[in-house]
Every structure is written in C-alpha cells, then in structure tokens.
Structure 1
Amino acid sequence: MLARLGRIAARGRYAVLAVWAGIALCGAVFGGTVYDRTQPLDDLRPGAPSTVAQARLDALTPTGEQVVAVLSGRNFFATDLVDQATRVMFEIRAIPGVVKVTDPYTAGSSQISTDSESSLVVVELSPELSDDEALAAADKVRAALHRIDVPEVLVGGKLLAERDFGDQAIADAALGESVALVVLCGALVVMLGGLASGSLPLGAALATVAATLLALTGLAGVTGVSEYTVNVVTLLGLGLAVDYSLLIVARFREERAADPRAPIPDLLARTVATAGRAVLVSGLAVGVALSGLFVFADPLLAAMALGGALVVLLATATGLTLVPALIAVAHRRVPAPGTRTWVWRRPARRGPGLLARSAAFAQRRPAAVALAVSAALLTLGVPLLHLNLADSDARSLPASSEARQAYEAYEQHFAAKYPQPVPVVIEAAATDPAVRSLLARIRALPGVTDVDLRENVPPQSVVAEVELPGPAAGERTQQLVRDLRALDTTVPVLVAGPAAQLVDAKDATGDRLPVALAVVVAATALLLFLLTGSLVVPVKALLMNLLTMVATLGVLVAVFQWGWGSGLLGFTPWGALDLTTPLLLFVFIFGLSMDYEVFLLARIREEWARRGGGSRAANDQAVLAGITATGPVVTAAAVSIGIVFLGFALGELIAVKEIGVGMAVAVLLDVTVVRGLLLPAVMSLLGRANWWPARGTALPTGTAPPTTPATAPPTPPRPRRAQPATAASATRPPRSP
C-alpha cells in the first residue's frame, strides 16, 4: 500500500502540490487567528478538590481579580508622599469596576515593609466584569499608581501576569520560528548540497506548521487552547516534518544511486515502501506517546494531547505525500551525497560517518561501552533526586516583566509578615460546636499564626482564612493543606488556594503517571514488535529511552532549578521546574527517541533479514550496516530538530525555554551517545537474542527489500554515457583538466 501511495504521489505530483498549497495558504491566512482564540487553561481536572473548593468559595463570597502594587524607594512617612498617595487612592476608588482598595494610606492597613521603604496596595475589581472589562480597569489602576512620585512602582497580579504571558508567548513563537527557520534553511542547504534540495524539507515543515495553526484554530472553537499549547505544538510539528522529510529524501537518493535508470515513480514507490514505513511507524509511536497525556484528564494536557495528535498526523501526511511529490518535481536538483556542487566544492571522501565509527568502536568493546554510557547517563540524572515541581506563576515571566517584579517584591517584603491566607470552607453554621472545635484545632496546627473568619458569608457556611508565614504555595503551606484535609471532623471541609491546587496537581500526577506510562509503553512496544518481530528489541528501546529521559531531566534541574548556565541562556531561575515540564518532556522525548529508534531498527531489520540471520556475526554486521546506511540521515535529522528546539529556547518564557532546552539536550544525548554507542553495544552483547522469537529469515510483511545491499560495492557507471549523479560516481576523483 505504501509503495502504491509513493507511486500515486509521484504521478499526481502537481495535484498533490496544489492540495498542500491550498492548505498552507489557508493556514497562513486564517491560522494566525488562533492566538485571538487562546485562553488560559487550568492544569487541574474540574473535579479536583481544590477546584471544587474554589467554585464553592466563589459562590459563597464572590471576589473579582486583584491588582497588587508595591511602592518602593521612599520612606512611607514622608508627608508629600502620603498626601500624593492619598489623592491617588481616592482616584482609584472612583474608577468604574473597582470595589475595594486596601492600602496603608487611606484604609488604615499596616502593609508596610520593616524598613518603611515599601508599601503594599491591593485593588479588588468587581467579579461581574468580563475579562476585557477587568483588563481595562486594571490598566487604569496601573496608570494611576504610576503617577505616585516614588523611585519604583511595580504593578502586577494574576490578571496582568496572564496577559503578559499571552503576549510573550506570541512574541516568543514569532522569534523562535523565525530564527529556527533561517538557521534551519542554511543547515539543510549545506547538508543536502543545494538550495533546491534543502528547500524540500523546509517546504514540508512550513506546510505542516501552517496546517497545524489552521487545525489549532478549529480546535480552539471546540475546546480551550492556550498560547503555551500553540507554541509547543508548532515546535513539535516543525521538528517532526523535517525529520520525516530527511528520511524520505535520503532513501530516495539511495534508491536512485542503486538503480539510476529506474523511472522516478518506481523509485519513489520503493522509497515510500521502505522509509515511508519507518515514517508511519514513527508517527504512530509519537502519537501514542502524546495520547498518554489524556490519562491526566486536565484541560491543559488534554489540549496539548489533541494538538500534538493533529501535528503528528499532519507531519506524517506531509512526509508520505508532499515530500514524494516535491521530489518528483525537483529530483534533478537533488544531488547524490558527496556530489560536487556550489555548496560542496569538493567531492566527499569515502568513509563511514560519525555514527558508523561510534558503532564500530562500541561493537569492539560492547560490555565496557554499555557500562560506561549507562553510568554516564545515570550520573547526569543525579540532580533529578532534588527535583522541585511547582505551578508556573509570575516568576516564569521574563525578569523584565513588571508583573514578575511586583510578585518578587511582594515575596521579598511582605510574604513573611502578611502571608496570603489559605481559604477553608466549612459547610456548617458558625454556631455549630463541631465548627468551634474544628477552628480550635486549625489554630493549633504547626506554623499557623492566625485564623480569621470572612464576613458576609451565608449563615450555613463558614469561610476561614488560615495564615502561615511563607510563600503562598511553598512547602510549609502545602503541608498545611495536607494537615487541614487530614483533620478528623464531622463537618465537610474544603481547602482552596494556590497551595491546594499544587498539592492536587502533584497527587493527580502521581496517581495517574503509572497508567500513562503503561499506555505509552505497551502501545509503543507493540509497534516495535510489529516492526521488528522481536520482543527483546522493544524492551531494550524502552530502557534506553528511560536513560535518556533521566539524564535530560537531571540536566534541566541543574540548569533551571539550580541556575547553572542561566546567564548564558538569558533567564533568572525561580527554584523549580514547571509541573507540566517532566510530563511533556516524557512524551516528546519518548516519541522523538522512538523516531530515531525506528529509523535505525527498520534498516537494521532489513539487513538482518537479508543475511538470513542465524549467527552473532550476522547480527553485528546487520547492526553496523544499518547504522552506516541510516546514520547520516539520523545525524542530519538530529541537527535539524536541535536547531528547531534551540530556536524556541531563545524565547523569554521559562516554561517554553525548559521544553526547548530539554528537547535539544535529549536529542543530542540520544543520537550521539545512545544510538551511536549504547544501541550497537547492547545489540552486540545480545547477539541473536535481539530478534527473539523472530528467526530473521524474511522481511516484515509489506517491506520491500533493499535494491542493492548497503555493503555491496557500488555499480560502476557505463563508459561514455551520461547518467544522473550516483553515490559511486560522486566518489571518484575529478579528472585533471
């Protein structure tokens, strides 16, 4: 079937190109509107305890968004400052939509720093305002506060921070995609030996991204999609499209070199039957990995899974249809490897590539290499023992963001003295003896400094605000949430607030992670079994992917949590990783690692079957031949996708930067260390056991045999007859003029 698809794409190339051009044009015109439809998404499922508690709290005592400001740099008691600030506070009260102003100038609050150089102002907006109305009112409040004559006025709050996050996500996407595409274009031209050939993967990538934006626009009309989702999904689509395109182009050049007289439709039929099968299995593997996000059942990860499934489908479709059609049109402009062109001034010298040399080294010392590489990867993963996960807040914004600066100023000057209380909803009347007993026990909990009861609460409920010094979602506050929920009481108790949300997110992740792992591992192992006919190969692949994952997360902890190299990467660490980063990296690293695993194993399986299997020597020869044949395209794909991820690492949002850097590190480790050293070493150690229970005497169903063995000598060209450039002719030294 795949061979037929390749032949159809070649013969109907202009029709295929017209369809994809129409899709890309619609994506370019309408896809950009996806950012107008994005919205912040919760990272908790609707039924989470803190979500239920917050909904009940909003029903009992509706509160609107808050604007928080820290005024610093002048003594609070300066007469002219007090007079000026007092006038501004009354002006703010008169702004439509403002319902309450808490400040030390007019409201009698004592929210002043210990050195009297900073004061805290909290402005509450009406809960009846729409999002746009609330933002307009917040902007007026901010403008008024900035009129106060102090050296530093920092205005923030959740509402303004979310808008800054959305604006920065759009800017980061534009910068990341632009830089990645420019650098990627240059790299592809160099790697493929010409502008036309280098444009083939780039054209597929642009079509995939445009189609993805169009698909996300449609998805946003059905379910919530965040700016973060758009950024990460387009990044993934760009990388996958380039990977799949390179594999198809490389296999086409190989087929053409082996049979230069064959018609182009026949060559593309063979190409898609072999490399296309690897693309299809790889796409299924990445899609399966992304499906694991559905297990967590929260809006943010569900949107990421849906968007990821769409982009994988589109990248696979471009690889199987658009790329063969582009090759059919421009095949004369696709030089054989090493051919002298304006890019390659000299024919390449014969010799194995980097991965082939690494594999040969590993096969000579398989036990030592396997042990050393495994130990090195585990060592890189040691920082993972100190992993700290938290929900991204204003600290994930760039250090230049005013909302982040306001948050940090609050934490520095007021968090310890005026902590954000933990709201507790008690579903019983305040006169109930059980409520009085419960409140007494809450006051006795470790670290609690005060318990206040909110006013204007319906008589059959109580809202208590429990104060504990420290950050709103710090470790001590999280422990307080657990202690509150563990209290033995006869009345229902609900706990809300940032710490409760973080506790619920961590608990949900811990509860559902084993299920997600089981889904991803089982489905991926099945795909690898169908590809190779072996039960051992899938287990080995999963273990190697796990090593890559552990090492990558260890590097991320050192960089983003501890701050190693933060100056070089241009960010200020905030002492934690975003809670979703390990989950997203797990599915992305797992999927892309399977990409390269499938690329290599598909060819190794062909070589093993061609040799008939049966001996350790045949196994080692098949591994080396497969890596030798596929190594260059895997290296090129890794360089390309590394460029894509590093392009997004240039952005300012730390959560997106974590994904970009994490994926670049994972690709680097996976291709150079895991695929170049660990894979051939382990396969050499296992020998024939690699292919158990398959005998290895036949290719998997539907796979075309290689036209010419990878290790066979090249067919010499016929004398005095013009032929297309082949790998054999390209390696002959040029004649002297």
Structure 2
Amino acid sequence: MLTRIARLGANRPRWVVAVALLLMILSGAVGATVHSHMKSGGFVTEDLDSYRAAESLRDNFPGSAPNYVLLVTTPDSVDSPAATEKAAQVAAALSGRPEVLGVQSYWTTRPDLRQALRSHDGKRALIMASVAGDDGELPIRAAALSKAFETDGPVSIQAGGLIATYDNMNTQISKDLVLAEAVAIPVTGLLLAIVFGSVVAAALPIAIGLFAIAAALGILRVLTGLTDVSIFALNMTTALGLALAIDYSLFIVSRYREELAAGRNPHDAVIRSVQTAGRTVVYSALVVALSLAALLVFPQYFFKSFAYAGIAVVAAATVAAVVVLPALLILVGDRINAWDLRVPLRKLFRVQPQRDKEPTETFWYRLVIAVMKRPIPVALATTALLLLLGSPFLHVAFGYPDDRSLPTTSSARQVGDILRTEFDADLASSATIVLPEFSGDSAEIGAYAKALSQVEGVPAVLSSDAVYRNGLRVAAGIPQMIDPAHGAYVSVGTKFDPYSAEGGAQLDALRAVPSPGEALIAGPAALNQDSVTAIIGRVPLAGLLIAITTLVLLFLFTGSVVLPIKALILNILSLAATFGAMVWVFQEGHLSGLLGFTATGTLNLAMPILMFSLAFGASMDYEVFLLSRIREEWLAGPKTTEGNTQAVALGVARTGRIFTAAALLMSIVFLGVATSGVSMMKLFGLGCALAVISDATVIRGLLAPALMRMMGTLNWWAPKPLVALHNRFGMHEGESPHTEAELATASR
C-alpha cells in the first residue's frame, strides 16, 4: 500500500500538491471561526450529584445559584448616593435581560444579609445574577453582559463569576493560539535550517506543518457541528498537528537525503523513503492515535473532544507526510540540499567545512558504546534519577480550574481575588445544599441549618427559617427557600478554598451532618470532588487500553515480546518523572514567579491524563523510529550478543541526531503552548515539552541502550506461535532494501 502511495506522489506530484493546497485553503477558511463554536466546560457529566443539585436549583429556584458577579467599587462608600444610583440602574437593566433568571444586590437585599455582599472596608459591593444557558451559550452571554455593564470611573464595575471566567478563558486561549504559532513556526523553521543545513530541506516540514494546522482547524470546526468540543482542544490539537507533521516530515526527508547520498535517483529515493521511514511514520501515528482513543472511555466531552479531534489531526499529519511530502520531494529533486546556510556562515567565520562522518565516528555511537560497557550502573543511576524526579507526584492533589487559571490582568481573576480576600465569605465558593424531596416545615430546615453552621470554616448558613452563625440564630431566613412542590435549599458560606485539603474536609463534614431527606450539594468543592472521583474511576481502563494497543503494535513492528514491554516501562518512567516535575512546579509553585502563574496547591486532573495520552504517543514516535533502524541493523548482522550490541549502537548512531532534533522541534511547539496566559495550558505545554526532551535524551540515549545491552539477544525473543503470527501479519521493514524498479530488473 505504501509503495502505491509513494508511486502516486512520485508520478503525479503537481496534482497531489495542487489538491493539498486546495484542501489547505478550504480547511483554513472553514476553521477560521472555530473558536466561537467551542465550549469552555466539559469536565462534568449529568449523573454527578453536584450537577443534579445545580440543575434542581436552576429549574425550581431560579436565581438561587448565581454564576455571574458584578463588583461595584467606589472611592468612598458603597452607601453613597452615586454608588446607590449606579447600582440601582445596573440591577434594573440586568433584571430586564431575558437570559437572566434572578438578581441579588447589596443595595436591595435585607439589611441583615447585606454584610455578606459588602467588602470589609465598605468600598466594594456585589450584584449577583443567575444566567441561563449551556456551556456554549454561557460564555457568549457573559461577554455580552460584561460589554454592557463593565465601566470605569468614580463608580467602576468589573465582571466575575464562573461564566465570566469561561469567557475570559475563551478570549485568552484564542489570543494565545495566534501568539504560540507566531513564535513556534519561525523558530522551528530556523532550527530545521540548522539541522538540515539547507533552507529547501527545512521548508518542506514547515509546509507540511502549515497544512496540518489548517487541517486541524477545519476538522475542529466540523466536529463542533457534530458534538461538543472543548475550547482547550484548540491550542492542544493544532500544536499536536504541527508537531507531528514536522516530526514525520523530518524522518522522511532525512531518509530521502540518506538514500540520495547512497546513489539513488530522486524517484527511487522517494519510493524507498516511504517504504521505510514512511512505514515507521504510519506505525507511530497508529500508536499516537490509539493512545488518544483511550480518552473515549471518559464520559466527559472535554476528553472525548480531544480523542475525536486528536485522532483526526494525527491522520491529517500522517497523510500529509506520506502523500503530500513525497510529491514535494519529487518536485524538489536533487535541490533538497540547496541554499545551504552553513556555506556562508563558514565563510563568515572562516571555518573549514566538516566532512560527513561515518556512523561509527559520531557522538551518538561513542555515547552508546560507552553506556553499553557499563550497562548496570547506567541503568540503575538513570532509573533512580527518574524515580526521584517523579516522587513529588506521590503527593499530588487535584482541583477543578477556576479564575486563578487566568492571568492577573483578567477581569474575572481580579474579581475572584477580591472576593477571596476582602469579603467575609467567598460567595463564588459557597455551597448550596438542595433537599429535592423535602416536604417538612421551616423549623426542620432550621435545625438542619443550625447543625451545618457549626461545621469548621462555615461563617454562616442561610435557610428558609433563619440565618445561623456557629449554631446561633442571628437573623430571619428567606421563606422562598422552601417550596412544597420542589423541596428546599440552604446556602452554606465558607472561609476555605474549595479545592484545598481544608475545603475537601469541610465538604465531607457537611455531608456527614444528618439531613431531613436526600441532600445534594452544589458548588465548587462538591463539583471538584465529584468530577475527580468520576475521572479517576476510568483511569485504569484508559491506561490498560493504551498498554494493550502499544504492546500489540510494537510486537507487530518488532516481532519481539520483550522490546514492547521494555518500551512501555521506559515510557512510564519518563512520564512519571515529568508528572513529578509538574507537581513540584505547578502545585507547589516553585517557579510560579518565573513562569507567571498562581499556584493553588492543586493540579487540574484533566491535564495529567491528556499529557499521558499525548506524550506517551509522542514518546513512542521516537521509540518506533529508533527500533526500526536497530532492527534493520539486527536483521542485516549476526544474531549474537555482539551483533545485538552493534545493532543498537549503529541504530542510535544513525537516528540519534534526527530524533533529538525532532524532539527539540516538537518541544518548541509545546513551549509555544506554554506561553499561554491560562495556567492549565502552561502546565500542559511545559509538561509535554519536558516529557519529549527527557525521552529523546535520557531514555533513548542512556537507559534504552543500557537495557538492550543487558538483555542481549533476548531483546528479539518471542514464543514460536507469536513468531508465526508476526511472520504473517507483522512489519518486515529492512528485509528488502530494494526499490520496485530494482526488483523488476532482478526478476528479468
């Protein structure tokens, strides 16, 4: 099949390039507005208790659970005539919006309840609203409300709350995407020119990368019409498409130049490159796609959107590399080495040109030989280092993303910081307990509220009966908080960060208080705990699917049962070290000042899962590429311990420079994502970059050769039934290093 594909590009290169260019333009046009069709949520499902509680409040007690906050700030007092007049105008206009279900305001609520809506210094107060809509509608509505009501001046108004946070994230991520690509593409092009020493050779992976980005945007836009797609998939998917397209192109272009240097003409060199490096690319793409497919086991559309979009983008990058790139190589032909930048640089600095080195003369060959002379100490030291780096992950704490994921210049972030520091209780973090089947009286609810108010860190509880502080009745309640047809609810304030250990313990204590009927808790703490529990429950299945598919594919690729297990263990070690580093940086905040984010003491659980799926697949890229050349040398050499050692050394020597360059280029793309102002995107980009770099250096240069030397010929062992299976269905790259033309000539 690959030979036929290569022949298509080789025989009709202009047609292939023209069709690819047309598809690129169409995809870019279709995907230009994709960000406006994506959603900000997707972390929860409808079966969670916290979701059911929020839904019950929305349906039966409109306005009881505000998700939009307007912070009114004055230079003197919120009780001044100017502030009172301005607030009244805003509250009235807000109440008149059809999407707004209810409005609460410091200036209109009862005097005994006002304190919770006013800051300690009396210069700030709140107007809160419940806005209707789903994950896609709410950020759009928040943007419209903020545009209408945010003002500067003596009486200023800032927007915050959950849906304003979503809106700010959407805006920030869209800006970050443009910046990341504006930085990553030219830097990548420069490094490719340095790696290849040729502007022409460097331009080809960039062209394929641009095709992949356009395809990614078009694919995402189509998916938004079919299913819910997370806004966070925008940066990650386009980064993945660009990174993989450049990686795959680098592999094929390098092999093409190698075949030209060996004396083949451009046509035969293209055919052979696709048969060898192209086949490796297809296997690598399968590993990446199946790793991402494991995300489908999670019910949240946040993960499903990454699975759908990621698989489609991997396919686009692969097609571009094995179909479009061969056509470009034919058009370029022998000019692949044209515009060598090294020539003018050597003349400028008066440096003599370096001769091409044999594999046995390279740094990588010398390094691997040195490693394999002392395999046990190298393996033990490297493993200990990786485990040490991974140890902080043993203390990981997971939290739902909130406004602190945004930069401090964001309106929602500023409002959130003020609510956390200048008000008695952070109303955005408060819990609401719903009793959907309650049919008793207010006194019974009052007794329940009184008990809740005695939980540590609860400043007050508001119910239909009364307001309670530390078990004492301090004010009358709100009769509308009980409805014989729909049950009742109570509002529980908190002094704790809902994502902290104290917040989790407080939630458990609230749930332990005996309730008059079924009690469902809504709010950030409950939402976080429910979603983390739901996600963690599916992690073992996702991990098992990734492990099984990886083992099967690598067996078909190598014919060995030992090498796939070794690759799986090494990838887990590499990712464990990366996760530990991410806990040390982002959870514990050791580099927060340098990287520009706020540490909250937690990590967003979705990020390690996404990083595992994506970085695992990307790491397997280099594993497959390396093993393909080692196996090629093994098949051509003696089947002895010395033959195994030489095959490993030559395989790394021939590919070390390429896969380290590929890792550097991929890491630059991910570091472009890490420039994001949204901390979870920063974590993802930096984590993936670190995983890729460590895998291509520490793992492939040290630990993998050491283990392969220790195992010797056992590397290539498989039971006889599996040998027969591989002979029939497996990959046999390297066993027939001839082009179709040479085979046809030989047969005559």
Cα distance in 2 for residues equivalent to 1:541 and 1:350: 29
Cα distance in 1 for residues equivalent to 2:133 and 2:673: 38
How far apart are residue 557 of structure 1 and its match?
1.7
Counterpart of 1:492 in structure 2: which amino acid?
A: E
Counterpart of 2:680 in structure 1: which amino acid?
A: A
Alpha-carbon deviations, 1:142-176, whole Å to 9, x = none? 22xx34447xx643222222211111111100000
How far apart are residue 543 of structure 1 and its match?
0.9
1:622 to 2:622 alignment: no
Q: 1:22: which partner in 2?
A: 22
Q: 2:45: which partner in 1?
A: 45
Q: Tell me the SS of whatever aligns to 1:584.
A: helix
Conservation of the 8 A alpha-carbon contact between 1:118 and 1:413? no
Alpha carbon RMSD of aligned pairs, Å? 2.9
Q: Tell me the SS of whatever aligns to 2:337.
A: coil
Match of 2:699 among 641, 653, 674: 674
Q: 2:221: which partner in 1?
A: 217
Structure 1 length normalisation: TM-score? 0.88
Q: 1:353 to 1:202 in 2, by over 3 A?
A: farther
Alpha-carbon deviations, 1:41-76, whole Å to 9, x = none? 320123222222222221111237544344568554
Conservation of the 8 A alpha-carbon contact between 1:419 and 1:471? no
Q: 1:124: which partner in 2?
A: 129
Q: Tell me the SS of whatever aligns to 1:321.
A: helix
Cα distance in 2 for residues equivalent to 1:336 and 1:274: 24
Q: 1:691: which partner in 2?
A: 716
How far apart are residue 513 of structure 1 and its match?
0.7
Q: 1:398 to 1:340 in 2, by over 3 A?
A: closer
Q: 1:256: which partner in 2?
A: 260
Cα distance in 2 for residues equivalent to 1:16 and 1:344: 38
Conservation of the 8 A alpha-carbon contact between 1:423 and 1:497? yes
Counterpart of 1:182 in structure 2: which amino acid?
A: P
Cα distance in 2 for residues equivalent to 1:625 and 1:10: 30
Runs of 4+ in 1 over 6 A off after TM superposition: 336-340, 432-437, 487-490, 694-699
Cα distance in 1 for residues equivalent to 2:31 and 2:345: 35
Counterpart of 2:707 in structure 1: which amino acid?
A: V
Conservation of the 8 A alpha-carbon contact between 1:192 and 1:337? no
Q: Tell me the SS of whatever aligns to 1:465.
A: strand
Alpha-carbon deviations, 1:706-728, whole Å to 9, x = none? 749xxxxxxxxxxxxxxxxxxxx
Alpha-carbon deviations, 1:200-223, whole Å to 9, x = none? 101110011111111111111111
Cα distance in 2 for residues equivalent to 1:105 and 1:489: 31
How far apart are residue 295 of structure 1 and its match?
1.1
1:453 to 2:463 alignment: yes
Q: 1:135 to 1:334 in 2, by over 3 A?
A: closer
> Please, which moves more after superposition, 360-369 or 241-250?
360-369
Counterpart of 1:175 in structure 2: which amino acid?
A: L
Q: 1:10: which partner in 2?
A: 10
> Please, which moves more after superposition, 105-114 or 589-598?
105-114
Cα distance in 2 for residues equivalent to 1:234 and 1:513: 25
Match of 2:632 among 596, 606, 609: 606
Q: 1:147 to 1:105 in 2, by over 3 A?
A: farther
Q: Tell me the SS of whatever aligns to 1:424.
A: strand
How far apart are residue 375 of structure 1 and its match?
0.9
Cα distance in 2 for residues equivalent to 1:424 and 1:611: 71
Cα distance in 2 for residues equivalent to 1:263 and 1:113: 79
Q: Tell me the SS of whatever aligns to 1:389.
A: coil
Match of 1:141 among 149, 166, 186: 149
Cα distance in 1 for residues equivalent to 2:560 and 2:572: 19
Match of 2:559 among 523, 527, 533: 533
Match of 1:296 among 276, 295, 298: 298
Q: 2:409: which partner in 1?
A: 400
Counterpart of 1:453 in structure 2: which amino acid?
A: S
Match of 2:657 among 632, 654, 661: 632
Q: 1:126 to 1:569 in 2, by over 3 A?
A: closer
Aligned length: 698
Counterpart of 1:624 in structure 2: which amino acid?
A: A
Counterpart of 1:86 in structure 2: which amino acid?
A: T
Counterpart of 1:44 in structure 2: which amino acid?
A: V
Q: Which has the higher contact order (CA 8 A, sep 6+)?
A: 1
Counterpart of 1:2 in structure 2: which amino acid?
A: L
Conservation of the 8 A alpha-carbon contact between 1:255 and 1:707? no
Conservation of the 8 A alpha-carbon contact between 1:338 and 1:348? no
Q: 1:536 to 1:397 in 2, by over 3 A?
A: same
Q: 1:727: which partner in 2?
A: none
Q: 1:382: which partner in 2?
A: 391
> Please, which moves more after superposition, 486-495 or 392-401?
486-495
Match of 2:84 among 78, 83, 86: 86
1:544 to 2:583 alignment: no
Q: Tell me the SS of whatever aligns to 1:686.
A: helix
Counterpart of 2:406 in structure 1: which amino acid?
A: L
Counterpart of 2:169 in structure 1: which amino acid?
A: F
Cα distance in 1 for residues equivalent to 2:493 and 2:36: 39
Counterpart of 1:92 in structure 2: which amino acid?
A: V
1:350 to 2:357 alignment: yes
Cα distance in 1 for residues equivalent to 2:289 and 2:106: 52
Counterpart of 2:216 in structure 1: which amino acid?
A: T
Conservation of the 8 A alpha-carbon contact between 1:72 and 1:117? no
Q: 1:33 to 1:435 in 2, by over 3 A?
A: same
Counterpart of 1:495 in structure 2: which amino acid?
A: I
Cα distance in 1 for residues equivalent to 2:104 and 2:488: 24
Q: Tell me the SS of whatever aligns to 2:103.
A: strand
Q: 1:485 to 1:567 in 2, by over 3 A?
A: closer
Q: 2:733: which partner in 1?
A: 703
Within 5 A, what are the aligned runs for 1:360-509?
A: 360-414=369-423, 416=425, 420-431=429-440, 442=452, 445=455, 447-453=457-463, 455-456=479-480, 457-460=482-485, 461-485=487-511, 491-509=517-535
Cα distance in 2 for residues equivalent to 1:44 and 1:126: 19
Alpha-carbon deviations, 1:221-264, whole Å to 9, x = none? 11112321111100111100000000001111122222x2x343
How far apart are residue 694 of structure 1 and its match?
6.8
Alpha-carbon deviations, 1:168-211, whole Å to 9, x = none? 11110000011100111111112112221111101110011111
How far apart are residue 490 of structure 1 and its match?
8.1
Q: 1:371 to 1:233 in 2, by over 3 A?
A: same
Conservation of the 8 A alpha-carbon contact between 1:66 and 1:122? no
How far apart are residue 419 of structure 1 and its match?
7.6
Q: 1:525 to 1:249 in 2, by over 3 A?
A: same
> Please, which moves more after superposition, 45-54 or 549-558?
45-54
Counterpart of 1:68 in structure 2: which amino acid?
A: V
Q: Tell me the SS of whatever aligns to 2:32.
A: helix
Cα distance in 1 for residues equivalent to 2:322 and 2:346: 28
Within 5 A, what are the aligned runs for 1:276-287?
A: 276-287=278-289
Q: 1:6 to 1:288 in 2, by over 3 A?
A: same
How far apart are residue 478 of structure 1 and its match?
2.7
Q: Tell me the SS of whatever aligns to 1:574.
A: coil
Conservation of the 8 A alpha-carbon contact between 2:198 and 2:339? no
Cα distance in 2 for residues equivalent to 1:66 and 1:148: 26
Counterpart of 1:281 in structure 2: which amino acid?
A: Y
Q: 2:475: which partner in 1?
A: none
Structure 2 length normalisation: TM-score? 0.87
Counterpart of 1:87 in structure 2: which amino acid?
A: E
1:562 to 2:591 alignment: no
Cα distance in 2 for residues equivalent to 1:519 and 1:702: 25
Conservation of the 8 A alpha-carbon contact between 1:71 and 1:120? yes
Cα distance in 2 for residues equivalent to 1:192 and 1:496: 57
Conservation of the 8 A alpha-carbon contact between 1:286 and 1:590? yes
Counterpart of 1:557 in structure 2: which amino acid?
A: V
How far apart are residue 429 of structure 1 and its match?
3.2
Q: 1:734: which partner in 2?
A: none
Cα distance in 2 for residues equivalent to 1:365 and 1:415: 63
Q: 1:431 to 1:101 in 2, by over 3 A?
A: closer
1:597 to 2:623 alignment: yes
Cα distance in 2 for residues equivalent to 1:275 and 1:65: 56
Q: 1:711: which partner in 2?
A: none
Q: 1:207: which partner in 2?
A: 211
